Amino acid sequence: MEHEIKNGITNRVLQSLFYRPKPEQLNEKTVEQLYDQTIRSSVSRLETYHQCSYRYFAQYTLGLNERSTFQLAAPDIGQLFHESLRAITEWVYQEGKAFFELTDEDIRAYARRAVEKLAPVLNHQILFSSNRYKYILRKLEQVIIRATNVLAYQARHSEFAPTGIEIGFGRRHKLPPLQLNLPKGYQLELSGRIDRVDQAEIDDQLYLRIVDYKSSQKDLSLVDVYYGLALQMLTYLDVVLTHSTKWVGKQAEPAGVLYFHVHNPTISDPKEADDEALEEEMIKAFKMKGLLLEDEDVAKAMDQSLESGMSKIAPFGVKKDGSFRSGSKTVDQEVFQRMNKYVRHVMMNAGNEIVNGEVKLNPYQKKDSVACTYCPFQSVCQFDPTLDEHEYRRLKEDSDPAMLERILKREEEL
């Protein structure tokens, strides 16, 4: 190569050996050309930013997209579940009914109606494209029936009732966007959509909780909150509490954030169990996960059937004297407030880095996962962990109490 003329054939053949992909920071002019003074983004996009800032750049700044293919992907199924539960809840209220009074027949009829309405508009009617997909559609309908059944059970045992479904915040939505000021006159304007907000009035105090429908098992990981990978639930709570007076007519307090896993669980040993025990196992399989307010009355309002022991509905348990059992996922109101402040800070930090033009190959690595696993931009970023200059960003994980302590310590410093 040294003796060859510039750009000769040997050079061209061998230059890939010395190629080191390394993104450069964007200069001020490029940033000005790329972003408006008001950067419109969403909480989930900022979660992507914290997974890997190059992925955010590729997906949302450059707007790169995978070529769409005719297939049923996980997001399509998630969308069908979301839309079905939203439609069913809407129909239930429109018809002057309540979830707790739904019979099995009602539920089956609503699920069939939802599937018939939504399947034809999903990904070019893919669910009608073959007998295999038609079979999958019937299976998905069973999941919707199962989930709706459990929602009806939970409603029968809870004082909390939905006050809003699929509530959007942002421009032209029910609730205003979340606005965060950034340096150089930039502003980060965040929008989003909240699956469900429930309310209950206890001793004249209004409480709100966020419920998120997930098509895979999920819990609120404080490691993820600390590193900005799970910002949605706490931000949604922040938004509804901030605007509760205008929206529901009363200043509300936080009751919690909960994930509801939409699935059709397999119950082991069905032959040995009677119908009642099976039903109980089924309800337990749908127990919501997340974080609740450390207030016995509020928690019990989420599961009125509970006298002592662990709840089958939400992540808490009570002792005979009424106090919380260990293993309950609760924090007090002040901690909720401080966590919300921390989350805002994490999002502002991301905004600062974006307007400073930072684009890094910094995919996270946790004990059991890395950011690149499901990332479609590997062929663009060419991240290669075998190269010295490419390294995963290792996240230091710890127990929930230790992570909470770290969150609160950082919040204190703000």
Applying CB under 6 A, the residues found at the interface with ligand SF4 are 52, 54-55, 58, 361, 363, 371-372, 375, 377-378, 381, 383
Task: Considering the complex, state which of residue 48 and residue 244 has its C-beta at the smaller distance from ligand SF4.
Answer: 48
The answer to whether 324 and 316 are in contact (CB under 8 A) is yes
The answer to whether 186 and 355 are in contact (CB under 8 A) is yes
Tokens coding 84: 């079905």
Report, in Å, the least distance between residue 367 CB and ligand SF4. 17
Report, in Å, the least distance between residue 371 CB and ligand SF4. 4
Report, in Å, the least distance between residue 186 CB and ligand SF4. 24
Q: Where are the beta strands (DSSP E) in 265-332?
A: 289-293, 309-310, 317-318, 330-331
Residue 22 DSSP label: -
Report, in Å, the least distance between residue 381 CB and ligand SF4. 3
Task: Considering the complex, state which of residue 70 and residue 374 has its C-beta at the smaller distance from ligand SF4.
Answer: 374
Report, in Å, the least distance between residue 376 CB and ligand SF4. 8
Report, in Å, the least distance between residue 66 CB and ligand SF4. 12
Task: Considering the complex, state which of residue 49 and residue 110 has its C-beta at the smaller distance from ligand SF4.
Answer: 49
Tokens coding 140: 């998905």
Report, in Å, the least distance between residue 73 CB and ligand SF4. 17
Q: How many CB atoms lie within 10 A of CB 381?
A: 20
Report, in Å, the least distance between residue 232 CB and ligand SF4. 19
**Beta pairing partners, 370:** 365
Task: Considering the complex, state which of residue 178 and residue 372 has its C-beta at the smaller distance from ligand SF4.
Answer: 372
Report, in Å, the least distance between residue 123 CB and ligand SF4. 24
- Distances from the Cα of 292 to the Cα of 18, 219, 228, 279, 338, angstroms: 53, 12, 20, 25, 15
Q: Are strands 178-181 and 187-202 parallel, antiparallel or unpaired?
A: antiparallel
Task: Considering the complex, state which of residue 236 and residue 377 has its C-beta at the smaller distance from ligand SF4.
Answer: 377
The answer to whether 119 and 136 are in contact (CB under 8 A) is no
Task: Considering the complex, state which of residue 50 and residue 344 has its C-beta at the smaller distance from ligand SF4.
Answer: 50
d(CA 372, CA 378): 7
Task: Considering the complex, state which of residue 188 and residue 381 has its C-beta at the smaller distance from ligand SF4.
Answer: 381
- Distances from the Cα of 26 to the Cα of 163, 350, 351, 358, angstroms: 44, 15, 14, 6
Task: Considering the complex, state which of residue 55 and residue 344 has its C-beta at the smaller distance from ligand SF4.
Answer: 55
3-state secondary structure labels for all residues of 150-182: HHHHHHHCCCCEEEEEEEEECCCCCECCEEEEC
Tokens coding 19: 């190629």
Amino acid code (one letter) for 190: L
Tokens coding 98: 């309540």
d(CA 153, CA 96): 18
Place of tokens 């082991």: 268
Q: Quickly list DSSP for 84-105.
A: HHHHHHHHHHHTT--GGG--HH
Helix, strand and coil in the chain, % to nearest 5:
45, 15, 35
Residue 61 DSSP label: I
Task: Considering the complex, state which of residue 56 and residue 342 has its C-beta at the smaller distance from ligand SF4.
Answer: 56
Task: Considering the complex, state which of residue 22 and residue 184 has its C-beta at the smaller distance from ligand SF4.
Answer: 22
Report, in Å, the least distance between residue 365 CB and ligand SF4. 10
Task: Considering the complex, state which of residue 55 and residue 366 has its C-beta at the smaller distance from ligand SF4.
Answer: 55
Report, in Å, the least distance between residue 377 CB and ligand SF4. 4
Residue 271 DSSP label: G
